[in-house]
Amino acid sequence: MWADYSNDSGFMKIKKMLLNSIVSGVNLLGVQIEKDFVRLVELSLNSHRYRVQACLNIDFKELTDETIIGELKKMDLNSKFVVASLSHSVVTFKEIEVLKNLSSKELEKFLRFTLAKDMGEQENKIIFDYQIIEEGFSKKVQLVAVKAKYVERQIEIFKKLGLCLKAIDVDIYALERAVRHQLKIIKGLVVIINIELGRIFVLVLDDKKIVHMCENFIDAGDKNLLELINSDLEKIQADISQSIYQVILAGKKASCSLVEALGSKLKINVSLVNPFFDVEVSPNINLDKMQKISPMMPVSFGLALRAIKND
């Protein structure tokens, strides 16, 4: 099944996070929780250089809140502040036009009413953020919203761990941020292909924004990844006028052999994501283990990175 998220939103690029109360000058944990894994990066900023203090990937067939709490309790973490992600699959993206003369209070009331109706939820059970992107005879507003229960669940998990959830971001923005940090300068179009068990998620970036994103759900044991990825790229190329300059693979199923095979087929630069590029690493971290899980860690790294940069 092919799911194209770019048609709903335009595409949105909201700078603020759904829940945002950044504390500067301290280590911060970036934590990505999904139904079958938890990934964590603890990041600090010392003398204008980032340092990874801890990193962790835990895979389970099905994670419970109790399992998450138990595993994280085993870690020796310096930070008490967490930045967590929400999966794009539970987030609503929307772009609407509203009357120009609405006050801030009237605008928020209208947006909450509209989102609650679209999401089939009570107004007091949603959390949303918005950004005005265009003003003329009316205002064009981009929105991101989620049911409050998803945020409340994460708050409760970290509360039981004695940690404070300071911010929540959407996974796709954290992934984008990690790749931009790695590349520094983006030329042409860069395609990020995040390959997990059962799904391939694709982000296309230019030098300023996300220009396309889509998701392809696959059988967990599918061995034809090369053909599936090539098919996805052909669909994307048909929708976008610019040519693809570079492809970056990420996620559990990304591998050096897939990089080599895809590069040979596409005849363009293909590489593995490396969120830990140009950062210091604590001597307490096993570098071999860190390198092995590196392709899975860009989202959690991007969460911690945004919190420290506060962009």
**120 belongs to a structural domain:** yes
Predicted confidence band at 78 (pLDDT cuts at 50, 70, 90)? confident
- How many Å apart are CA 305 and CA 175, to the nearest integer? 11
- How many Å apart are CA 311 and CA 303, to the nearest integer? 11
Predicted confidence band at 122 (pLDDT cuts at 50, 70, 90)? very high
> How high is the pLDDT of residue 21?
47
**307 belongs to a structural domain:** no
pLDDT, one tens digit per residue, over 216-265 is 887 755 567 888 888 888 888 888 878 899 999 999 999 999 999 999 98
Q: Residues 195-226, buried b or exposed e (16+ Cβ, 10 A)?
A: bbeebbbbbbbbeeebbbbbbbebeeeeeebe
CATH number of 128's domain: 3.30.1490.300
Which residues does 251 contact at the CB level (< 8 Å), separation at least 6?
193, 194, 195, 196, 201, 295, 296
**51 belongs to a structural domain:** no
pLDDT, one tens digit per residue, over 23-59 is 445 688 999 999 889 999 999 887 778 899 999 999 8
How much is the mean pLDDT over the chain?
A: 85
Cβ atoms within 10 Å of 175's Cβ, excluding its own: 31
**123 belongs to a structural domain:** yes
Residue 44 exposure: Cα atoms within 13 Å on the Cβ side: 15
In percent, the amount of the chain with pLDDT more than 90 equals 54
**135 belongs to a structural domain:** yes
**124 belongs to a structural domain:** yes
pLDDT, one tens digit per residue, over 262-283 is 999 888 999 999 999 989 999 9
Residue 133 pLDDT > 80: yes
Residue 10 pLDDT > 50: no
**23 belongs to a structural domain:** no
**75 belongs to a structural domain:** no
Average pLDDT over residues 107-116: 94
In order of 28, 65, 73, 113, 235, the CA distances from 191 in angstroms are 28, 33, 36, 36, 13
Range of the domain at 128: 92-147
Looking at per-residue pLDDT, the higher value among 219 and 73 belongs to: 73
Instruction: Specify the number of domains making up the chain.
Output: 1
